[in-house]
Structure 1
Amino acid sequence: MITQNRGIAMAEKNILAYFKSPEQAEKALEQIKALKLIDSSINRFDGYPGDGSDRIRNPITGDFPGLGYLTLGGDFSDRDAAILAAANVSASGMSQSDETAGRDILLTVVIDEDDYEQAVAIAEKAGALV
């Protein structure tokens, strides 16, 4: 993508950096702001719709719609989707830890092409998976 900045054409590059905490992403963004930053955002994302259970309930006596609601925080309007989510190893707590686990904070950066490598290095040093 090419943008105009004071009459000079600038090439842009995008970075998607995944962090384990908002503080890590904010620390990286503060350092990246010293470069030719065009746009940025920090967002939390989840693979399941809704906020799910906001408090721990006893699954024997509590009224809850399914395992995905309790363990994944999902609100499912479709019963089939709820069953499929409950089949996920993360729902049972039996998942193996891997490099991507817990990285639900996304730092999105649009930066001048000249500063791309430096911005990626800053994000990785701050703990990102880029």
Structure 2
Amino acid sequence: MTEKNILAYFKTPDEAQGVARKLQALRVADMSIDRFSAYPGGELNNTMHPMTGDIVSLTSMTLNSSLTNRSSGILGAVDPSASGMSDGSQDGPDGRDILLTVVLDENVFHQAMSIIEDAGGMV
């Protein structure tokens, strides 16, 4: 039995979970749903005042990113998503920060691809 893998990007966890339920019927070998970000440190969950708080960078204010040092803050701030100086669209997975990873038998690969694409996933 030869296996293939699929990396599919979605806009919401609910979209990915809906597809995952449908793919379970194909008896996948392994599957995971993860959120990814271009910024290290995860989400910033504490409240801060922009005038008096210790703000690492523009990224912490605009993208809710908990950057750990000044250098990564500077790099994050040049991203169009943080500055608002561009729409940020470079033909990438815009707004698709949910990754569905699937490992399955190659006999059902095309069927799985159809399920993903019909649900709006980007492969």
Aligned residues: 121
Unaligned stretches of 5+ residues in structure 2: none
1:50 aligns with 2:41: yes
Q: CA RMSD in A?
A: 1.9
Q: Which moved more, 1:28-37 or 1:108-117?
A: 28-37
1:82 aligns with 2:54: no
Whole-angstrom CA distance in 1 between matches of 2:113 and 2:5: 10
Aligned match of 1:127? 120
Greater fraction strand: 1
Deviating 4+ runs (over 4 angstroms): none
User: In structure 1, the residue corresponding to 2:111 is in which secondary structure?
Assistant: helix
Whole-angstrom CA distance in 2 between matches of 1:116 and 1:96: 35
Equivalent residue in structure 1 for 2:101, among 101, 108, 112: 108
Distance 1:55 1:21, change over 3 A: same
Which structure has the larger Rg? 1
TM-score, structure 1 normalization: 0.82
Shift of 1:97: 6.0
Aligned match of 1:28? 19
Whole-angstrom CA distance in 2 between matches of 1:39 and 1:95: 38
Whole-angstrom CA distance in 2 between matches of 1:23 and 1:97: 24
Equivalent residue in structure 1 for 2:57, among 66, 87, 94: 66
Identity %: 47
